[in-house]
Structure 1
């Protein structure tokens, strides 16, 4: 890669010459936690169990790329959520979760330019389905938290539910889902944009035509073609005419 240069205050680019045309792309894929939204949902759920500090430390290490086995790190975190109720998760959604600045504006601009939208998250369907519906996202992939039935119904078991595509949406699954969606749309991956902030976003960012780091970990900023280090997600539109 070329040496990164500051295109505008808080906006760094490398290996591209703006302005690019947004309409030349056909798909934009987003991570959710700390990208489209302001929180790491697993950390906030853990707060209800009095285990936020422990879970957040694992999350931070995973996002920085210091834990290489993302699936194991997520299983460890989810196990610590056992006993949290659906009502407490509802509280996280209504009281703590907000869209990041510029998220709605960027999604709307992409849709207006004819792009399809994809949400791929190492988080949970409890939240991704609602963000999908709020923003009108076309495709999603994320993890399902297992909820007890019978005695103690409505509580998390500390496990996740396997899905038809696999067990956990990790970095490799994000890459696979981006490529599968490109194939579904009949486009090359070069016509896809991938936006994320953590190490588990790097596999999908590596295959996309344009990779975007949003307030990201150092390892991610270094490898992205666009790094938004200040301001909202819609700052990407400064690079895409």
Structure 2
């Protein structure tokens, strides 16, 4: 019997899914989970995801770590760095611990943990192949959890869920209409995800282009530029070898 695969399109819907027997994939394509994958791929020892700026600053001081994060697409007040993957080259992040807070993704990760998720990993286009390989190897139920934008469904996270489903659907029972919808959207967009976001007036596309972050968007929509596997354990994300 095949394991089940569900897609949760918004954190506001997470309570509808039984995560206790599932691998939960936290998806925040623009830009949290893309940045996490990049930092770990470039040698960060760990990423500690926190859900508030105050907690980020506290832990950063306690561990003498890099503190980073954003609110509404910009560097959060009181933090050293932002949420762009280009801020974390190997020469800077190698061997360092990054304490990170974001508007949507890190909050959803903590929600999944509090709801008793069996396992938590993070996914994005830069590490899509590692994510898919891991899910195949686990052979257990999966919840693709989209961070969305302040509980409102967004295009980019749904596209990533659809891309994963497109690769894995023969190995899983697609157990909800949201999974079917995500895959259909991805097949419509797959030839050029960036142009699809632009043509459809995606809200986060406009939010980031306002800050001249087109380079970030293109990177975050490109496959396998940061092939790490961020795995949540004991309060931190590590690169699972």
Higher relative contact order (CA 8 A, sep 6+): 2
State the structure with more CA Rg.
1
Give TM class, smaller chain: under 0.3
Q: TM-score, normalising length from structure 1?
A: 0.27
